[in-house]
Structure 1
Amino acid sequence: MSIKLRLTIMNFFQFFVWGIWLISLGGYMGQVFGPIEGSSIGLSIGRTYGSMGWASLFMPALLGIIADKYLSAQKVLGISHIIAGIAIYFATRATNSTEMYWIIFATSCFYMPTIALNNSVSYAVLNKFSFDVQKTFTPIRVWGTVGFVIAMWITDLTDWKSNTLQFVFASVSMIITGLFCFTLPDVPAENKNSNQSLTSKFGLDSFVLFKQKKMAIFFVFAMLLGAALQITNMFGDTFIRDFGSNPQYQGTFGVEHSVFIISLSQISETLFILTIPFFLKRFGIKQVMIFSMIAWVLRFALFGIGNPGSGVIFLILSMIVYGMAFDFFNISGSLFVEKQTDSKIRSSAQGLFMLMTNGIGAIIGGELAGRTVSYFTIGNKIQWSNVWFTFAAYAFVIAIAFAILFKYKHDPKELENLEH
């Protein structure tokens, strides 16, 4: 089996195992625990998703140190997947939201670091076999998104999203993925960080960027937008499924296959990635980030007016604009950090960007979304239009504030290499 094929398989399953449960978890918790926990279920779902943010604050750095100094990276990747697979199996036995919180937190402590480790192993293996990393890795990584989408489809079409079989499926898939990692070429520990301070090992030296007003503002807004990213992951499936309680929408394709509908978001994501070089060169990072924020406004507003019946077109449009909302923020933001930071702290700066979005942003997003849903829950009935319009207003305020506060002069020549 060729090196590229093996890495493609690894990237496919890296995100396949996440797609099995990430989108459907909120709907499952609402269905199983909601009748017992009432209006507090929204807050419980938000905090459970927020546990991934807490795990992202420290575990990637810890496992990264192990991979740098003590154990081959592909072995750390494999062991992490296996432990995460064992942890998520216990979700089949969760009887309340508190138990589910700690199970997802334990799972995330070992799964979330694998996202960065997957990239590190891929880069190292490609370099080891003299491939051009920039040209070779992108088409390999795309299969990760394909894996995520296919996992969502399987979970949806089998209706495992409504029962504990999704966690059994995820557990088995994670363990198999972990075992596959051991078959990859060796990426030995090199003790390359042995002379670094603990601050450097955890990527904290990049916090010096907060001394630059432009970068400080950028990272704060990255955190605020990171909070928006979590909202539809948490409640998108719950929202669409909830229409099933209304006889008007019972049996509609959207209600029966809510996860399939949401998967259109990930398909849109793969398409918008291709447009990033053009938009960045033509408009610059500030305008592209504003486009992302406006897309988030539309994402939430279209949810607010959509339904699985006559309003299904609005749900589909919401899925389409998600591609712009996600990519123009995550990918473009990462490229901006790459261009604006010194090579000595570039990796740490990328880590800081991820910490602000997937760490602190996820925690804030979980709490914010959970409290909003709980506020608009009367009895066991969630006023979804109010929820989504509130989130749309949040994104709109962020867009206005960013346009006013973030000062950046676009130089088209700065990003010329993106088109090649």
Structure 2
Amino acid sequence: MTSSIRIKLSIMMFLEFFIWGAWFVTLGTYLLRNLSATGTQVGVAFLTQSIGAIVAPFIIGLIADRFFSAQKILGVLHLAGALLLWRASSSTDFGSFYPNILTYMVLYMPTLALVNSIAFRQMQNPQKEFATIRVLGTLGWIVAGLTIGWLNWEQSGSLRATFLMAAGASALLGVFSFTLPATPPVKRGQSSSLGDMLGLDAIGLLKNRSYLIFFLASIAICIPLAFYYGFTNPFLNEVGMKAAAGVQSLGQVSELLFMLLIPFFFTRLGVKKMLAIGMLAWVVRYVFFAYGDGQSNYWMLIAGIVLHGICYDFFFVTGQIYTDNLAGERFKSSAQGFITLATYGVGMLIGTLLSGRIFDNYQLSEGVHDWRMIWLIPAGIAGVVVLLFLLLFKDRPQTQAVAPAPYDAAPSLAQAN
């Protein structure tokens, strides 16, 4: 990979996650304070992420893998997204806000698979190269959170500005995408079934028993993840943490550091241990949140936030590389969309519906909640998932690949079957 391509891919990742972090972290607080939403409505708003993730494989499989270059689709989606974020910023109630953010997330979620696909197509050895590119996405999320905290938008009631900031970044990435390395469709001109055209060809990955277990675990672990995305910022603000969005960026700092260490951990731990450690970190994080507070146990809040690096990198980044390795060249885009469907789609869909109801059920009075119970519930769910994963996932030499890998995979990745 040339240095110019590496720089372009890094800028792409930075902007991709800056856009998301600019409004998503404080969405719950914005809805509760500015639009007087209920906990269930907050859950419904975060549900748009899941709807977008479910649609993503169809957009990727039908368009990116078959008809148009991925970087061009990325540009069009982000330009349209900029307009929708601007419209969302002018909403005065939840009823007018929701259609804009729903349409936006249907367009944004496919871009998560597209940026991965564009990056992977430029790499000879993703295990070594991907982390150093993807880490710029984490940096983008950090910068977004620090900007919100520095400008004091949470305390001053100015969170509407987060959508305007995200809209500007989305327009910038939309234009920049057309300068990215050409990533033409790999199945242009091929005849196939409707299921293949819709990106369902990646479902063949589930013939691999270990990948099936990983896929199901991805769905299940994202149920407790929805609690973190939807209610961490309102929780931290309620217990008295100042500049909560900025403090939350410590989670992305941790993510950045652990992402750089992924090649080191791969060779020493292997896929199963990395995935299990990532899920176990979720259990510990929610226990810390349950018993932490803004006074003597403030350190628990910080520790729970910092654990985000292990939670995300050890499970999601490992899973993306694991998926790319098994998919092979032909199914790269649709396979990334497929795992996005499992995690941010089905799992988060269930989690957002559940978390909103639990938030409302444990409201003690106006602006006061029983946060201990709200956090112990996802801790219990994550604990069950990691236990079942350890019992069922087998890390042994692979006897039959789903598709030929286009590069020499590290032994730890090739062993899962």
- TM-score, structure 1 normalization: 0.85
Q: How does 1:158-307 map to 2 (within 5 A)?
A: 158-161=151-154, 162-163=157-158, 164-188=160-184, 192=188, 194-210=190-206, 213-244=209-240, 255-307=241-293
- Kindly indicate whether residue 132 of structure 2 is the aligned counterpart of residue 139 of structure 1: yes
Q: Secondary structure at the match of 2:134?
A: helix
Q: Which residue is 1:119 aligned to?
A: 116
State whether residues 284 and 410 of structure 1, in contact with CA within 8 Å, keep that contact through their aligned partners in structure 2. Answer: no
Q: Which moved more, 1:89-98 or 1:102-111?
A: 89-98
Q: Which residue is 1:13 aligned to?
A: 15
CA–CA distance in structure 2, aligned partners of residues 182 and 132 of structure 1: 25
Q: Which residue is 2:83 aligned to?
A: 86
Match of 2:31 among 29, 50, 58: 29
State whether residues 48 and 100 of structure 1, in contact with CA within 8 Å, keep that contact through their aligned partners in structure 2. Answer: no
After superposition, the C-alpha distances for 1:138-195 in whole angstroms (9 at most, x for unaligned) are 4232211111110111122112344211111111221122122233454455762642
CA–CA distance in structure 1, aligned partners of residues 226 and 164 of structure 2: 24
Q: Aligned-pair distance for 1:87?
A: 0.5
Q: Which residue is 1:248 aligned to?
A: none
CA–CA distance in structure 1, aligned partners of residues 181 and 317 of structure 2: 28
Q: Aligned-pair distance for 1:228?
A: 2.3
Q: Which residue is 1:397 aligned to?
A: 384
State whether residues 64 and 333 of structure 2, in contact with CA within 8 Å, keep that contact through their aligned partners in structure 1. Answer: no
Q: Which amino acid aligns with 1:173?
A: A
Q: Aligned-pair distance for 1:202?
A: 2.5
Q: Which amino acid aligns with 1:9?
A: I
Q: Secondary structure at the match of 1:234?
A: helix
Q: Which moved more, 1:339-348 or 1:94-103?
A: 339-348
CA–CA distance in structure 2, aligned partners of residues 222 and 67 of structure 1: 24
Q: Aligned-pair distance for 1:371?
A: 1.4
Q: Which residue is 1:377 aligned to?
A: 363
CA–CA distance in structure 1, aligned partners of residues 107 and 27 of structure 2: 18
After superposition, the C-alpha distances for 1:230-265 in whole angstroms (9 at most, x for unaligned) are 321111111011124xxxxxxxxxx22101111111
- Kindly indicate whether residue 149 of structure 2 is the aligned counterpart of residue 156 of structure 1: yes
Distance 1:9 1:23, change over 3 A: same
Q: Which amino acid aligns with 1:90?
A: R
State whether residues 193 and 201 of structure 1, in contact with CA within 8 Å, keep that contact through their aligned partners in structure 2. Answer: no
Q: Secondary structure at the match of 2:77?
A: helix
Distance 1:60 1:158, change over 3 A: farther
After superposition, the C-alpha distances for 1:64-118 in whole angstroms (9 at most, x for unaligned) are 5334444443222111111111101122232333433322211111211222222
- Listed as ranges, the gaps of 5+ residues in structure 1 are 245-254
Match of 1:416 among 408, 411, 414: 411
- Kindly indicate whether residue 39 of structure 2 is the aligned counterpart of residue 42 of structure 1: yes
Q: Which moved more, 1:225-234 or 1:142-151?
A: 225-234
Q: Aligned-pair distance for 1:284?
A: 3.7
- Listed as ranges, the gaps of 5+ residues in structure 2 are 399-408
Q: Aligned-pair distance for 1:367?
A: 0.8
State whether residues 45 and 97 of structure 1, in contact with CA within 8 Å, keep that contact through their aligned partners in structure 2. Answer: no
State whether residues 87 and 107 of structure 1, in contact with CA within 8 Å, keep that contact through their aligned partners in structure 2. Answer: yes
Distance 1:286 1:133, change over 3 A: closer
Match of 1:365 among 351, 363, 372: 351
Q: Which amino acid aligns with 2:22?
A: I
Q: Which residue is 2:404 aligned to?
A: none
Higher helix fraction (1 or 2)? 1
Q: Which amino acid aligns with 2:193?
A: S
Q: Which residue is 2:406 aligned to?
A: none
CA–CA distance in structure 1, aligned partners of residues 184 and 192 of structure 2: 19
Q: Which amino acid aligns with 1:109?
A: V
Q: Which moved more, 1:52-61 or 1:180-189?
A: 180-189
Q: Which amino acid aligns with 1:230?
A: A
Distance 1:20 1:341, change over 3 A: closer
Distance 1:379 1:269, change over 3 A: same
Q: How many residues align?
A: 399
Q: Percent identity?
A: 31
After superposition, the C-alpha distances for 1:112-136 in whole angstroms (9 at most, x for unaligned) are 1222222333455x47xxx876655
Q: Which moved more, 1:132-141 or 1:111-120?
A: 132-141
Q: Secondary structure at the match of 1:270?
A: helix
Q: Which amino acid aligns with 1:23?
A: V
Q: Which residue is 2:62 aligned to?
A: 65
Q: Which residue is 1:321 aligned to?
A: 307
Distance 1:355 1:63, change over 3 A: closer
CA–CA distance in structure 1, aligned partners of residues 247 and 26 of structure 2: 12
Q: Which moved more, 1:281-290 or 1:153-162?
A: 281-290
Match of 2:53 among 27, 40, 56: 56
Q: Which amino acid aligns with 2:152?
A: D
Q: Which residue is 1:249 aligned to?
A: none
State whether residues 290 and 399 of structure 1, in contact with CA within 8 Å, keep that contact through their aligned partners in structure 2. Answer: yes
CA RMSD of aligned residues (A): 3.0
Q: Which residue is 2:295 aligned to?
A: 309
After superposition, the C-alpha distances for 1:269-324 in whole angstroms (9 at most, x for unaligned) are 12222444444444443333332222111111111111233322111111222211
Distance 1:390 1:134, change over 3 A: closer
Q: Which moved more, 1:135-144 or 1:267-276?
A: 135-144
